[in-house]
């Protein structure tokens, strides 16, 4: 929460934001705290707790993922909701920002238990949600299958099929083509622009990926497939591996599926998380959780570009250190916005009942991401500030304009 608020305040100071607008942005509009009983496979009943925070809807319905995580807190969800407001505004999507979370450990739950938790969450939150109110999506440890159960539960409660209540659904029930790798793909499009600006040849250059969930694994596939890069190190919650000649995506994804981790992948050597962050790389992709790059490890980072596929992976102190050291940071608000951008395309398709081909989705995504990348770069130059502050300034300016027009201040 602190980082998100500090980030808001830092940008507000540079842009001279009206204090009333800042005060509105410091506070979420609405927060829902839920608890719900779920029957577990062993016959016992467990009470789960969850949240949904609607931070701001001045530009459109609240939008943002639902995380399932054992350490989830309302504070983290609040911070992530602020970032969603800024992210949708930065990409100029007609949406606001929200975020949800359930305190649970999906790794220890059966598919049946996960389904019952997902449905119970939606039953409790339903009156808060809707295609014109608040539209959740996948996030940390939630999947298209979970979105399908949630969309179904909501539709049952409405008495009719309502696909637009949630995005990141499987295509067979109204999901968009190209949504599953959209977060990584958007980041890859940004990396391509950053490398062109810096004069870095990406083909054959090295990358590492911290976090090997949906975004991290897709980034591996696309960094090698689209950019021709060599991904030499990756990590997940159980370990980090290194292979100087480059890791093969297909083989590694199959290994992780089979063993549950990247750890022990044949031909690789185990390294520590700090060793991974300190590798000499063209691009480092933090693709897991918040606050991974800190004042302690930032001085050792040797990457030319940091592409933030996770939300909030860099603390503000680390951001200052990296910026001063000349590392080009593609901030989360921009770098991982491909996910919500294709979510918006999914909402448009759900509302119209007409569905685009994957190539059309990719083309629309690339246009949005490239435009936003250059807008952030120009703002960073004109405000003489970091790309993170520049991204916040652009986003806050748009939200403030909408709030002003709507008479909120």
Catalytic residues: 99
List phi, psi (to 5°) of 173: -120, 35
Asked if 61 touches ligand GLU (CB under 6 A), the answer is: no
Is residue 336 a contact point for ligand GLU (CB under 6 A)? yes
Looking at the Cβ atoms of 239 and 313, the one nearer to ligand GLU is 313
x/- letters, 71..110, toward ligand GLU (CB under 6 A):
----------------x-----------------------
Binding region for ligand GLU (CB under 6 A) out of 124-132, 205-213, 262-270, 333-341: 333-341
Within residues 296-325, the interface with ligand GLU by CB under 6 A covers: 311
DSSP secondary structure of 317-361: HHHHHHHHTT-EEE-HHHHTTHHHHHHHHHHHHHHHT----HHHH
The residue within the footprint of ligand GLU, chosen from 60, 65, 163, 313 (CB under 6 A), is 65
Would you give the binding string for ligand GLU spanning residues 149-188, x where CB under 6 A is met?
A: ------------------x---------------------
What is the signed CA dihedral for 265, 271, 274, 277, rounded to 10 degrees? -50
Which CB sits closer to ligand GLU, 250 or 367?
Answer: 367
> What is the number of the residue whose Cβ is closest to ligand GLU?
65
Q: Is 139 in the site for ligand GLU (CB under 6 A)?
A: yes
282 scored as a contact of ligand GLU (CB under 6 A): no
- DSSP letter string, 157-193: HHTS--GGG-SS--GGGTPPTT-TTHHHHHHHHHHHH
| Residues whose CB is less than 8 angstroms from the CB of residue 83 and which lie 6 or more positions away in sequence, other chains included | 4, 97, 311, 312, 332, 333
Give CA–CA dist 172/344, Å, rounded: 18
Place of tokens 């302690």: 296
Structure tokens at 380: 């960073």
Minimum Å gap between C-beta 319 and ligand GLU is 18
Q: Rounded to 5 degrees, what are φ and ψ at 198? A: -90, -5
Task: Using CB under 6 A, list all residues that contact ligand GLU.
Answer: 63-65, 87, 137, 139, 167, 311, 336, 339-340, 343
């Amino acid at each position: 929460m602190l980082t998100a608020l500090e980030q808001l305040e830092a940008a507000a100071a540079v842009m001279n934001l009206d204090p009333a607008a800042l005060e509105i942005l410091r506070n979420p509009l609405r927060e829902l705290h839920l608890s719900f009983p779920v029957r577990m496979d062993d016959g016992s009943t467990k009470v789960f707790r969850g949240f949904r925070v609607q931070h701001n809807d001045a530009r459109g319905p609240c939008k943002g993922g639902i995380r399932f995580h054992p350490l989830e807190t309302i504070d983290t969800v609040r911070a992530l909701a602020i970032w969603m407001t800024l992210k949708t505004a930065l990409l100029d999507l007609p949406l606001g920002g929200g975020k949800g979370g359930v305190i649970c450990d999906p790794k220890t739950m059966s598919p049946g238990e996960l389904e019952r938790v997902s449905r119970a969450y939606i039953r409790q939150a339903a009156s808060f949600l809707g295609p014109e109110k608040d539209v959740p999506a996948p996030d940390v440890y939630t999947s298209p299958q979970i979105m399908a159960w949630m969309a179904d539960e909501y539709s049952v409660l409405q008495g009719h099929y309502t696909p637009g209540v949630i995005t990141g659904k499987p295509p067979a029930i109204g999901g968009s083509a190209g949504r599953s790798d959209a977060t990584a793909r958007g980041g890859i499009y940004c990396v391509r622009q950053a490398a062109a600006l810096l004069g870095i040849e990406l083909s054959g250059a090295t990358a590492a990926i911290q976090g090997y969930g949906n975004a991290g694994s897709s980034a591996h596939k696309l960094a090698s497939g689209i950019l021709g890069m060599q991904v030499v190190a990756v990590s997940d919650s159980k370990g980090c591996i290194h292979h100087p000649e480059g890791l093969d995506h297909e083989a590694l994804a199959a290994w992780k599926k089979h063993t549950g981790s990247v750890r022990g992948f044949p031909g690789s050597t185990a390294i520590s998380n700090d060793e991974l962050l300190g590798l000499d790389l063209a691009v480092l992709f933090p693709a897991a959780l918040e606050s991974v790059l800190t004042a302690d490890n930032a001085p050792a980072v040797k990457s030319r570009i940091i592409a933030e596929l996770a939300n909030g992976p860099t603390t503000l102190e680390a951001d200052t250190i990296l910026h001063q050291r000349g590392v080009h940071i593609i901030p989360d608000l921009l770098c991982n916005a491909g996910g919500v951008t294709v979510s918006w395309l999914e909402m448009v398709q759900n509302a119209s009942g007409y569905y685009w081909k994957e190539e059309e989705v990719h083309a629309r995504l690339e246009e949005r991401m490239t435009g936003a990348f250059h807008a952030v770069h120009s703002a960073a130059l004109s405000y003489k500030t970091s790309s993170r502050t520049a991204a916040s300034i652009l986003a806050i300016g748009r939200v403030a304009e909408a709030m002003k027009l709507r008479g909120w201040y």
